[in-house]
Every structure is written in structure tokens, then in C-alpha cells.
Amino acid sequence: MKADPPEEKSANRYRIEALAKGLDVLRLFDESVTSLKLREICDRTGLPMPTAFRVVATLEQEGFVERLTDGAIRPGVSVLTLGSAALRGSSIVQISERPLRQLAEATGETVNLGVLRGAEVLYLARIRNTDIVTANIQVGSTLPAPLTSMGKLLLAYLDEDDVRERLARFDFARAGGPNAARSVDDLLPRLTETRAQGFALQDEEVAAGLRSVAVPVFGRESQPAAAINIAAATTRHTVDDLRTRLLPRLQATAEEITLRLRAA
């Protein structure tokens, strides 16, 4: 049997199992899973019912989960507070805030900053200027990466095996707007084109009536640290508008943020 590396042994020595179990419960919740019954928590974590009950009771007492009238459990205010603090404290959010605000003011459109999280894009910053289809998206929200300009942009910098693994459980048949990719094999050529041109277009793939264009933001690594985009209603901008009018401004903003990140 292979021995654990010294650093792993050291980490395991200080591991608090009760805390780890509580974190496992909190990780069950995301954009698509907003509440769970206790039995579902047991099934998904593998915790025995008495252990899950004690963990949930502790989290509830501390405000990290709350119980609904039907007995289901959902994240509480303390989780939201921590999440907001983490996003506000992120260096890339702080560095990007002024350039993104200037971009939003210059274009009159909604601008976003996002990172790849599994098969989703996590929105770290959003400056909303106009009424667009995804008006319910806010900081901390996620959208499926294959449908979004930022998601496609970030997926394009991964190798094919990684893309396939991330999207193995993604239901293309039920997702997105009229122009969304309907399979990984349909998506891959779009990613190849995106990588070659250095930007991603989204034309009614998230939802009908919405277009966007995204470019990468780099830190010191060769992989993008994040992506930024401009989102607009189809009634306001054609695809050609995105390329010729909005893309140059977006690229200039990405270059500014990249320089700021590398200097930080």
C-alpha cells in the first residue's frame, strides 16, 4: 500500500471530520439544487441518518441552513453572507470593477465577469444597464457553460477530453435557446473556432432574444483567469454589431484587466 506524502499526513492530522461533514452537506446546494429533504442529504452524502440529523441541526443553529415548512433544508443567511464576502474580496473582482464599469458606461450594455466552475460559468461581477432576457442573473449565479459566450470561451482553452468529462452529464437536448449546441460533438467545432479567433459569440444560445460576445482575461498563466462579456438584446445589436462595434472595446478592457492582474 502506497504511503501518504508527508504533507498529506500533516493535513490529515489536523482534519476535523465533523466540520468536513458539515461542508459536505453545504456543497450539495447550488443553482439547480436549492433545497433537500434530510433523507436526500443522507443519500447524497452517504451519512447515516443520525449523523446527518446532528450535522443539519448544528448548521441550522449557526444560521448556515434553514428549515422550510415542509421540512426541507435550504442554505441560510450565513452562507449568503460568506459567499458575498468571498466574491467582494476576490482580487480579480476588485481589479476588474473600474474597467468593467467604464465599459458598461461606454457601451450602455450589460457587462459580466465570470469563471469556469465544472460545466457552469460562475458570475463574479455584473453591471446591468439594459433589460435583457437573463435579467434574473446576478453575482453568484451560474449558467451552463456550453450556452454562454463566457463559458464557450473558457471551455475553448481546455483539451477535448477535459471538455467531454465536464459535460458528460449535461443535457443538451433540453438546454438553451434556438441556436444552442445539441451535443458535445456539435459544440466542439464552435470551441475550435472560438480558440482560433480569440473571442466567443453567443447568438440566442442561452435564450431567444439574447446575444453576447466574450474575451479572455489572463493572469500570469497561459490559461485564462476569467472571461468578460457584453450581453445585449437581439433588438439592439446584430451579430455584426458585436464583432465590429462592441468587440474592440471589450478587448481593450480585457487587456487593461490583464495588465492589472499581472502587476498585482
Domains of the chain, CATH where assigned? 6-79 (1.10.10.10), 90-263 (3.30.450.40)
**111-114 contacts: CB < 8 A, separation 24 or more?**
111/228, 111/229, 111/230, 111/231, 112/137, 112/150, 112/228, 112/229, 112/231, 113/217, 113/226, 113/227, 113/228, 114/148, 114/150, 114/151, 114/154, 114/226, 114/227, 114/228, 114/229
**Residue 6, all three cell numbers:** 508527508
| CA 23 and chain centroid, separation | 20
Supply the pLDDT for residue 198: 97
Report the alpha-carbon distance of residue 77 to residue 80 in Å, rounded.
5
Report the alpha-carbon distance of residue 144 to residue 151 in Å, rounded.
7
Q: What is the DSSP letter of 146?
A: G
Closest by Cα among 243, 257, 261 to 103: 257
Supply the pLDDT for residue 89: 46
Supply the pLDDT for residue 176: 86
Report the alpha-carbon distance of residue 253 to residue 4 in Å, rounded.
45
Report the alpha-carbon distance of residue 183 to residue 195 in Å, rounded.
19
Contact present, 103 and 109 (Cβ < 8 Å): no
Report the alpha-carbon distance of residue 83 to residue 86 in Å, rounded.
5
Helix (H) or strand (E) holding 13: helix 6-13
Supply the pLDDT for residue 37: 94
Residue 66: phi and psi, rounded to 5, are: -140, 155
Q: Taking the model in full, what pTM does it have?
A: 0.71
**Burial label, 10 (beta-carbon count in 10 A; 0-12, 13-18, 19+):** exposed
Closest by Cα among 90, 99, 87 to 258: 99
Q: What is the DSSP letter of 119?
A: T
**51-55 contacts: CB < 8 A, separation 24 or more?**
51/21, 52/25, 55/18, 55/21, 55/22, 55/25
Supply the pLDDT for residue 117: 87
Tens of pLDDT, residue by residue, the chain (264 residues):
455 555 555 556 778 898 999 999 988 987 568 899 999 999 999 999 999 999 999 999 988 888 988 999 988 867 755 665 555 546 888 899 999 999 999 999 999 999 998 899 989 999 988 666 555 688 888 899 999 999 999 999 999 999 999 999 899 988 889 999 999 999 999 999 999 999 999 999 999 999 999 999 998 888 899 999 999 999 999 999 999 999 999 999 999 999 998 987
